[in-house]
Chain A
Amino acid sequence: METFQYNTESIIEIKNLKKSYGENHVLNGFNMNLVEGENLVIMGKSGSGKSVMIKCLIGLEDPDSGTICVMGKDISQLKHDELDELRTEVGFLFQGSALYDSMTVRENLEFPLRRHTKKFGVIKDTTPLVMEALENVGLANTINLMPEELSGGMKRRIALARTLILQPKIILYDEPTTGLDPITAKEIILLMISIQKKYNTSSIIITHDVDCARAISNRMILLVDGINYVEGTFEEIIALNDPKIQAFFK
């Protein structure tokens, strides 16, 4: 990817984040920041706490200590309503797509629209918004299907559409290509890039897929032993001679 111009302030800033489950110290002082318009890739092996970190970021998990600022707001200080409002600006693509399997594709997409009444008020006709989101991911014809009728790649796209429908400024992707075949994974990556161009979103992409990281990252952070082990562009990191780092790229 082309080099990224750093000129703006961070819209996400995490300082010294710690989180343990009993004796399992998952995060031990993790730091990172996200700049506006940037695609930041966070790599780490499975079970290293990537999902825990990203869930702390959106208030789904409470950290033990450390501060998290999203768009200038310390999320631990937010009231419930304010947190809900912030969550309309920060989209989350879940690891396994997390489509509601008792609802059709249309109802899945309508759910966040109808629920976040603060941002949108009460929408009478959601069809144009639903259709726009579905067209963005190229699946307008699936509107009346149930999730079980969709392939893994299609589910991932619908989940992306459901995230996009709120027009977030930031999108958090939790392993967007995991569990997909290489060709479908490639399609999802291209889709992510085109969406980023179209809506000018900033993204954090969690992955252990090297191709995905290479294709999309402006900057990377490796999460090892609960801390931000190393940071830099893809080329910088792949050139390093640390065995812990090399293990990712074999």
Chain B
Amino acid sequence: METILKIIRIFKSFLLDIGELSLFAGRFFKEVLKRPFEFKEFIRQCYNMGNRSLLLVAVTGFIIGLVFTLQSRPTLQEFGAVSWMPAMVSISIIREIGPIITALICAGRIGSGIGAELGSMKVTEQIDAMEVSGTNPFKYLVVTRILATTFMLPILVLLGDAIALYGSYLVENTKGNISFLLYFNKVAEALEFGDLIPATIKSFFFGFAIGLVGCFKGYNCKKGTAGVGLAANSAVVFTSMLLFIIDFIAVFVTDIFYDL
């Protein structure tokens, strides 16, 4: 009984969060069109985001490509289908693994960073100070960050994809003696726009979710230093859940288009 009640409570607070998050998103769409556009701050946030996550995304992508290929090699070998390796790896990485892994990394690195940064700005009244300085803090802090994550994530995903494929190529090159040209020829043959476009669209949504939740948690941070930690932490948890939900929906939507 106790646990059931607890689950109900957690579920209820999750739904409440979703409701408030939608209002927050509504405010974003209202403010994003209003002047002045904080273009300089947007560029700065894009740079920050790339700077903070580039190395992590690259290393993770490389290792994933490497390990993924090493692990699937024996199975494919059993069926005598090793020549299908580039096709299999590229399709799974481009369609699914690349976007979701990159997004999860960015949720941990960027989302929590935004939550903590805005949270501490809120607690120390820096946001109030901006407001009395003739600045709309929602536009200056929130809109720029959400736009930055939305535009940067697809770029990071493409980069992660490319590096993962390169990692996979290295394995194939040492174990199967396949040349660079041949490997990527096979990749190009296997891939269609139908793989790349939905994955890129999905990445935009992932990026939006990361920025939105990070800003939401930080901007509504409770007073006190404990609030800042909580904002950062819950931003990551909440974003990760949201990412999987978006991914799930994206698969359904893409399926509908494939059937057409």
Main secondary structure of the interface of A (DSSP, over half): loop
Main secondary structure of the interface of B (DSSP, over half): helix
- Chain B residues near A100 (CB, 8 Å)? 121, 126, 129-130
**Residue of chain B at shortest CB distance from A90:** B132
Which of B117, B128, B135 sits near A98, CB closer than 8 Å? B128
Chain B proximity mask over A24-68: 1 for CB below 8 Å, otherwise 0: 000000000000000000000000000000010010100000000
A94/B128 in contact, CB under 8 A: yes
**Does B179 make an interface contact (CB < 8 A)?**
no
B132/A60 in contact, CB under 8 A: yes
**Does A73 make an interface contact (CB < 8 A)?**
no
Chain A proximity mask over B116-131: 1 for CB below 8 Å, otherwise 0: 0100110011101111
Taking CB atoms and an 8 Å cut-off, the chain A residues in 84-121 that contact chain B are 84, 87-88, 92, 94-96, 98-102, 111-112, 115-118
Q: Choose among B121, B125, B126, B133 the residue with the greatest number of A CB atoms under 10 Å from its CB.
A: B133
Name the distance in Å between B126's Cβ and chain A's nearest Cβ. 5
- Chain A residues near B134 (CB, 8 Å)? 84, 87-88, 112, 115-118
Chain A proximity mask over B7-32: 1 for CB below 8 Å, otherwise 0: 00000000000000000000000000
**Residue of chain B at shortest CB distance from A118:** B134
- Chain A residues near B120 (CB, 8 Å)? 101
A60 to B117, CA, bound (A): 21
Interface size class of B (residues with CB under 8 A): 10 to 19
A118 to B131, CA, bound (A): 15
Name the distance in Å between B40's Cβ and chain A's nearest Cβ. 11
A96 to B128, CA, bound (A): 12
A112 to B128, CA, bound (A): 12
Which of B126, B128, B130, B135 sits near A101, CB closer than 8 Å? B126
**Residue of chain B at shortest CB distance from A100:** B126
A118 to B125, CA, bound (A): 24
**Residue of chain A at shortest CB distance from B128:** A60
Name the distance in Å between A105's Cβ and chain B's nearest Cβ. 14
**Residue of chain A at shortest CB distance from B140:** A115
Which of B117, B126, B135 sits near A115, CB closer than 8 Å? B135
- Chain A residues near B131 (CB, 8 Å)? 60
Taking CB atoms and an 8 Å cut-off, the chain B residues in 107-159 that contact chain A are 117, 120-121, 124-126, 128-135
A92/B129 in contact, CB under 8 A: yes
A87/B129 in contact, CB under 8 A: no
- Chain A residues near B128 (CB, 8 Å)? 55, 60, 92, 94, 98
- Chain B residues near A115 (CB, 8 Å)? 133-135
Name the distance in Å between B44's Cβ and chain A's nearest Cβ. 9
Contacts A84-B134, A99-B126, A112-B134 given; 4 further ones with Cβ under 8 A? A100-B121, A101-B124, A102-B117, A115-B133
- Which residue numbers of B lie inside 8 Å of A, CB to CB? 117, 120-121, 124-126, 128-135
Q: List 24 A-B contacts (CB under 8 A).
A: A87-B132, A87-B133, A88-B134, A92-B129, A92-B132, A94-B129, A98-B125, A98-B128, A98-B129, A99-B126, A100-B126, A100-B130, A101-B120, A101-B124, A102-B117, A111-B130, A111-B133, A111-B135, A112-B133, A112-B134, A115-B133, A115-B134, A116-B134, A117-B134
- Which residue numbers of A lie inside 8 Å of B, CB to CB? 55, 58, 60, 84, 87-88, 92, 94-96, 98-102, 111-112, 115-118
